[in-house]
């Protein structure tokens, strides 16, 4: 039996004329926390959508529990999606439902459990994320950190095998961030699930990740444990992990020579 | 010159792709009927927000349009001593034309725009993606109940519009201007045919309901998920569905009433 819950094999994906990935391969080990990191705009969220089957690669294969996601029929894909869940960057809570109903929503849709049992499951999940007291609040009454925790409770409602987190730490204050980091770690251990985190918050994710994949230049530039990554010889990996402004990834957007630009006449397109 | 043909080709392909996406959405809404237990509460909720909440604007507009029709009609008919025919004049205008068309235009502005904005915002806040990731088809959960709510409520709203319009005309024509109440109702009853006038009016409203709800849902579902994209999609819904209603009204009138 494979040790990986997800396997990305030689995936090439283009959007319009732009190549996002070229022959990219990496694995997401079962029962571990895997972090996908990389500079902004590199297509990290796109990878989650590929794994979730919302997008299809141009070539290559994506295996979830040894089954090919791109080759699945809609019906089988929906069966597979019941075993995975995704925490969106915005939380994506349904704004017309209370926190309780949001968490109960996937249970009501996919099971025929009675309301009393659903109530117990929802309260258990809300307790895990510390929001049992907020069960009757509407999403508009929650802070950003609380909304993300409520969405996390909803994403674990059906006890998935894999949880994908899309930028879970973005825009969080230090306290919420610390809470989320601990939550992800404890959920992974308590529920014995696999976690895939897409982020560029290096410090936070390196403290809890078991496996790190760094994406740049349309492919994987480094893969291994956090310790391996810190010792990685690639200057690109080191620039990213240490947050250096200059290195293989340039700070400046491509432009003509600075001095020439300053001394030249008003160029076409300026001051319009 | 080559750029012109390139642009023409590009916009044609985009339009065809857009028609394809709209058709696929329509088929999804038509054939993904939710089951009775889960679908009925969703449908009732949408009937409330799409239909019931449009009642006030439809009733008030119907009342005023009926009253204005009576005033205008009375002035002209009085010149020929035919003010007794005010009843059929108002009833035929409302049932054949004004009821379906004005209700459709109000429905596009009130409910169509709300549907587009709601679905567009659900897309922008990743609620539609999140449904898909929960293995729940958004066409079944979000689009289908709204489509059927539009199809059911718009013909009912048009009938209410016409009924209230006739009462408004009675208020002005009979109670204010002194037309005989017996001739108002009896000539109307004699002149208005159920099949030719009422049924054709209902057929028109069903067609308009289909057009408006389809355009509104498609525009919301296909919008660019930004504030600018949602605003543009909402505008497109109102403009395109209003034009579609007026265009189809001419075609349907030509088929139904030209002898």
Q: How confident is the model at residue A272, as a pLDDT?
A: 44
Can you tell me which residue has the tokens 């009016």?
Answer: B201
Partners of residue A81 in chain B, C-beta under 8 Å:
132-135
Partners of residue B38 in chain A, C-beta under 8 Å:
109
- Residue A78 near chain B (CB below 8 Å): yes
Of A88, A95, A110, the CB nearest to B135: A110
**pLDDT tens digits for range B210-231:** 999 999 999 999 999 999 999 9
Report the alpha-carbon distance of residue B174 to residue B167 in Å, rounded: 10
**pLDDT tens digits for range A55-99:** 999 999 999 998 999 999 888 999 899 899 888 888 889 988 999
Report the alpha-carbon distance of residue B199 to residue B46 in Å, rounded: 26
Q: How confident is the model at residue A74, as a pLDDT?
A: 86
**Average pLDDT estimate for A31-40:** 86
Compute CA distances A121 → A82, A91, A153, whole Å.
17, 20, 10
Report the alpha-carbon distance of residue B117 to residue B223 in Å, rounded: 9
Q: How confident is the model at residue A69, as a pLDDT?
A: 92
Report the alpha-carbon distance of residue A123 to residue B21 in Å, rounded: 41
**pLDDT tens digits for range A208-221:** 889 989 888 788 88
**pLDDT tens digits for range A149-207:** 899 899 888 889 999 998 888 777 788 788 888 888 888 888 888 999 998 788 888 88
Average pLDDT of chain B, as a whole number:
91
Q: Please choose, from the candidates A186, A185, A123, A187, the residue with its C-alpha nearest in 3D space to the C-alpha of residue A160.
A: A187
* DSSP β-ladder status, A59-64 and A67-68: antiparallel
| SS3 assignment, position B42 | helix
Compute CA distances B242 → B56, B108, B239, B246, whole Å.
20, 7, 5, 6
Q: Please choose, from the candidates B168, B166, B150, the residue with its C-alpha nearest in 3D space to the C-alpha of residue B207.
A: B150
Report the alpha-carbon distance of residue A191 to residue A187 in Å, rounded: 6
Q: How confident is the model at residue A246, as a pLDDT?
A: 66
Name residues 24-53 of chain A within 8 A of B (Cβ): 49, 52
Share of chain A above pLDDT 70, in %: 92
pTM of the shown model: 0.83
| A81: closest chain B residue by CA | B135
| Global ipTM | 0.80
Q: Taking a C-beta distance cutoff of 8 angstroms, is the pair B227, B171 a contact? A: no
**Do residue A85 and residue B133 have CB atoms under 8 angstroms apart?**
yes
Q: Taking a C-beta distance cutoff of 8 angstroms, is the pair A184, A87 a contact? A: no
Report the alpha-carbon distance of residue B71 to residue B69 in Å, rounded: 5
**Do residue B135 and residue A90 have CB atoms under 8 angstroms apart?**
no
pLDDT above 70 for A271: no
Residue B38 C-alpha, separation from nearest chain A C-alpha, in angstroms: 8
Q: How many residues does chain A have?
A: 272
**Do residue B129 and residue A94 have CB atoms under 8 angstroms apart?**
no
Give the distance, in angstroms, between the CA of residue B180 and the centroid of all CA atoms in the same chain.
34
pLDDT above 60 for A264: yes
Give the distance, in angstroms, between the CA of residue B73 and the centroid of all CA atoms in the same chain.
26
DSSP label at residue A22: E
| B140: closest chain A residue by CA | A109
Least confident among A15-19, A93-97, B53-57, B171-175: A15-19
Of B125, B129, B135, the CB nearest to A82: B135
**Average pLDDT estimate for B19-48:** 84
């Amino acid at each position: 039996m494979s040790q990986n819950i997800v396997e990305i094999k030689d995936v090439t994906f283009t959007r319009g004329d732009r190549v996002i990935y070229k022959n990219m391969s990496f694995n997401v080990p079962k029962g571990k926390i895997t972090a996908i990191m990389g500079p902004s705009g590199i297509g990290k969220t796109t990878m989650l959508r590929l794994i979730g089957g919302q997008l299809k690669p141009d070539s290559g294969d994506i295996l979830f529990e040894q089954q090919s996601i791109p080759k699945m029929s809609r019906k089988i894909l929906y069966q597979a999606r019941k075993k995975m869940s995704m925490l969106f960057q915005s939380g994506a809570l349904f704004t017309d439902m209370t926190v309780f109903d949001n968490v109960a929503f996937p249970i009501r849709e996919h099971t025929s459990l009675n309301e009393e049992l659903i109530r117990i499951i929802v309260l258990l999940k809300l307790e895990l994320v510390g929001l049992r007291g907020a069960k009757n609040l509407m999403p508009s009454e929650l802070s950003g950190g609380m909304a993300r925790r409520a969405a996390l409770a909803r994403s674990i409602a059906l006890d998935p095998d894999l949880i994908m987190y899309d930028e879970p730490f973005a825009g969080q204050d230090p306290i919420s961030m610390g809470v989320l980091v601990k939550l992800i770690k404890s959920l992974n251990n308590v529920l014995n699930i696999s976690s895939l985190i897409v982020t560029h918050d290096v410090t936070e994710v390196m403290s809890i990740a078991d496996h790190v994949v760094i994406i740049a230049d349309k492919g994987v530039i480094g893969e291994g444990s956090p310790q391996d990554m810190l010792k990685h010889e690639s200057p690109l990996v080191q620039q990213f992990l240490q947050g250096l402004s200059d290195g293989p990834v340039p700070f400046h957007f491509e432009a003509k020579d600075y001095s020439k630009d300053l001394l030249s006449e008003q160029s076409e397109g300026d001051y319009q | 010159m080559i750029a012109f043909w390139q642009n023409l080709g590009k916009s044609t392909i985009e339009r065809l792709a857009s028609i394809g996406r709209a058709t696929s959405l329509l088929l999804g809404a038509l054939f993904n009927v939710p089951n009775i237990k889960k679908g009925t509460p969703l449908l009732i909720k949408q009937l409330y927000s799409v239909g019931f909440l449009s009642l006030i604007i439809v009733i008030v507009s119907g009342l005023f349009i009926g009253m204005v029709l009576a005033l205008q009609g009375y002035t002209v008919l009085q010149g020929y001593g035919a003010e007794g025919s005010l009843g059929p004049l108002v009833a035929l205008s409302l049932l054949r034309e004004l009821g379906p068309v004005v209700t459709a235009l109000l429905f596009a502005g009130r409910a169509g725009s709300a549907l587009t904005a709601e679905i567009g915002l659900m897309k922008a806040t990743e609620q539609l993606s999140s449904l898909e990731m929960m293995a729940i088809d958004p066409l079944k959960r979000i689009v289908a109940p709204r489509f059927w709510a539009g199809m059911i409520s718009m013909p009912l709203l048009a009938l209410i519009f016409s009924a209230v319009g006739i009462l408004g005309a009675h208020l002005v024509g009979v109670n204010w201007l002194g037309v005989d109440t017996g001739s108002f109702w009896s000539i109307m009853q004699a002149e208005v045919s159920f099949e030719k006038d009422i049924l054709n009016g209902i057929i028109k409203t069903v067609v308009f309901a289909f057009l408006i709800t389809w355009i509104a849902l498609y525009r919301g579902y296909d919008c660019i998920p930004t504030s600018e994209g949602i605003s543009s999609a909402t505008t497109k819904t109102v403009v395109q569905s209003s034009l579609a209603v007026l265009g189809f009204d001419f075609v349907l009138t030509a088929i139904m009433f030209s002898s």
